[in-house]
Structure 1
Amino acid sequence: MTERRPDGRVERGNQTRRLVLERTVRIGSSEGLEALSLGRLATELKLSKSGVFALFGSKEGLQLATVRAASRIYVDHVIEPVLAQPPGLARLWELSEVWLRYSAERVFPGGCFFQRVRVEYSSRPGAVQDAVRAADTAWRTFVRQTVLEAQDAGEITPHRSAEQLTFELTALWESSNTQSVLTDSDTPYPQARAGVRELLRAVATVEPEFLAQAAA
């Protein structure tokens, strides 16, 4: 029985797809998804336009693939790192620290990719808006679940709704990202960290060491 060799054309196509998406997530975070085009990508990456078209089919297909690629990067840099912490207040604090680091380290050069495209597609109905909305809903659901787990552990008062805490936390994170990108300064991050610390101390039923250290 002969061993089947990998199809070189398929592998070259996969490599090209990865190369294109590495570029599109960078453009999307800085200029928005409307700045993407098959022709631009072909020119900048020295590829044939027909080859890029064969991979993505249309500008919308390219945009949707970019949202999916950005979602995978977001999960790798924001979601996965916090899961090492047990559910509770420590995980919620770690989520804040990881998100601020993700923004400050410019995982996406334009700051948070999803903050950028949410604004861009807030009033643009269609498949891309649906994809952006789905990614945003998944993220906020994760934050809310993290809050609920801390409440279930008895470490956060149940008198503040998980929905409200999710709104307040994400507002602090997103504000720091916007201000940092706009002013080219890291100053907003310690300001956001201080805001998160005070918010969590106000609703916490315990005073864990990491919050006490942050307050020092």
Structure 2
Amino acid sequence: MERGEQTRRQILRRAAEIASVEGLEGLSIGRLATELEVSKSGVFAHFGSKEELQLATVRAAAKIFVDEVVTPALDLPPGVARLELLLEGWLAYSERRTFPGGCFFYAVQAEFDARPGRVRDAVAEYGRSWNALVRETVEGVPDLAVDAGQVAFELVAFLEMANAQSVLHDDPAAYTRARAAVRSCLDRAIG
């Protein structure tokens, strides 16, 4: 049983790595079996269909994201320090290439944004949850001088732009610029 779960985790980790570069449509049971040196029927037995593989990959990527970005920040009490750690956690997650294509969710959201279906719904739900968490974390900052929803929108935009610039243009300075933009936005908001 444990060996099967370990194999499943390995499959999903590799699937998330591939999807961060090639998208969820780039996943195939045959490719995963070949790369991980397991049988195609063994991979298929874990998921049953490409859609189930895609959904499981989204859940696995979300768990990695939560473990690396969200959980450390939630260990702090509400306030500026929690918000700063949450945002820095996201930048570090993207910058150190937890997934080769940068942020997994940034990479797959454009692929599914206009497609109906369960995979799109799952990607969208994780995006909504992240945006809500950032907004709620902003709201937890005392004496906020501006609209928390607007501040959260701007902060997420800075993070995503850093990811996009660093991946598409191979520009590591994008993270420095994003950190400066985040600092400036927080300074204005906390005033």
* 1:23 counterpart residue number: 14
Corresponding residue to 2:153 among 167, 174, 180:
167
- Return the alpha-carbon distance in structure 1 between the equivalents of residues 111 and 92 of structure 2: 24
Corresponding residue to 2:119 among 128, 133, 138:
128
Task: Tell whether 2:103 aligns with 1:85.
Answer: no
Matches within 5 A, 1:174-193: 174-193=160-179
- Return the alpha-carbon distance in structure 2 between the equivalents of residues 15 and 54 of structure 1: 14
User: Cα RMSD between the aligned structures?
Assistant: 1.1
Runs (4 or more) in structure 1 with deviation over 3 Å come to: none
| Contact 2:79–2:137 under 8 Å retained in 1 | yes
Task: Tell whether 2:138 aligns with 1:147.
Answer: yes
| Structure 1 position 43, deviation (Å) | 1.6
1:106 is paired with a residue of what secondary structure? coil
* 2:88 counterpart residue number: 97
CA deviation profile, 1:13-61 (whole Å, cap 9, x unmatched): 2121111111101001111100001111112212111111111000000
Normalised to the residue count of structure 1, the TM-score between the two structures is 0.85
Task: Tell whether 2:49 aligns with 1:63.
Answer: no
The structure number with the bigger radius of gyration is 1
Instruction: List runs of 5+ in structure 2 lacking aligned partners.
Output: none
| Structure 1 position 11, deviation (Å) | 2.3
- Return the alpha-carbon distance in structure 2 between the equivalents of residues 90 and 145 of structure 1: 14
- Return the alpha-carbon distance in structure 2 between the equivalents of residues 202 and 183 of structure 1: 29
- Return the alpha-carbon distance in structure 2 between the equivalents of residues 90 and 44 of structure 1: 42
- Return the alpha-carbon distance in structure 1 between the equivalents of residues 25 and 10 of structure 2: 19
Residue identity (%): 55
